[in-house]
Chains A and B, each alone.
Chain A
Amino acid sequence: DAGVTQSPTHLIKTRGQQVTLRCSPKSGHDTVSWYQQALGQGPQFIFQYYEEEERQRGNFPDRFSGHQFPNYSSELNVNALLLGDSALYLCASSLYGGEQFFGPGTRLTVL
């Protein structure tokens, strides 16, 4: 049984570009949450998707957007990249309201 998977593993972009990160949840899970983790800090909640709708959102600008597909997989899009967007982006899946299980993350570097 595959756990949470994310792609790509690493990504390098320049300021102003746009990026799309992908996440496939653990089998049987219907909810996907996205977190941003800067170096040396705890993960920060970006948003959560359930039934293809954004259900909760953290304190992130509209440059951060997402989508959930009928198969429960999800994408995180970031527009107009800033240097400060460099971080590890973590996807976590769960049953709605249940414990979250994290994927390996995507390391984004913005130059």
Chain B
Amino acid sequence: GQSLEQPSEVTAVEGAIVQINCTYQTSGFYGLSWYQQHDGGAPTFLSYNALDGLEETGRFSSFLSRSDSYGYLLLQELQMKDSASYFCAVRDHTGEAAGNKLTFGGGTRVLVKP
């Protein structure tokens, strides 16, 4: 089966840096995605890593190590609006289908304090 582990909660102050780790066990692995979800809102796509290494998108960066089945999301220069839940999700496939489905972790709730 598929499983993803990520911390349940992280608290930090404005301007700080937060790293959210994600370890996974899965088959048919395509890559690792990260989503942000504010309370009452829909998950919003942040980043996707298919290959090992670091992907940088503004204040957010994501890293993947396929050999270690590990990735992380780095949030820099934290702002109050970054208070939200962050999910790692494995993009994988089953059977012969070349499509994709997402298997999500339980989410990390990030609380940014003034």
Contact = CB atoms under 8 A, between A and B. Distances in A.
Contact of B102 (A45, A50, A97): A45
Interface string A27-51: 0000101010000111111001010
Interface stretch (B12-20, B36-44, B58-66, B68-76): B36-44
Query: Which size bracket describes the interface of A in this complex?
Result: 20 to 34
A41 B102 contact: no
B20 to A, nearest CB: 13
B83 interface: no
Given A43-B104, A50-B99, A96-B99, A102 B33 contact: no
A26 to B, nearest CB: 12
A94 B101 contact: no
A99 B48 contact: yes
Contacts of B48: 99
Contact of A56 (B42, B43, B89, B95): B95
Contacts of B94: 56
B103 A41 contact: no
Given A35-B104, A42-B89, A100-B102, 16 more contacts: A42-B4, A42-B104, A42-B105, A42-B107, A43-B87, A43-B102, A43-B104, A45-B102, A97-B98, A97-B100, A98-B100, A99-B33, A100-B100, A101-B45, A102-B44, A102-B45
Interface of A: 31, 33, 35, 40-45, 48, 50, 55-56, 58, 90, 92, 94, 96-105
Interface of B: 4, 33, 35, 41-45, 48, 87, 89, 93-95, 97-107
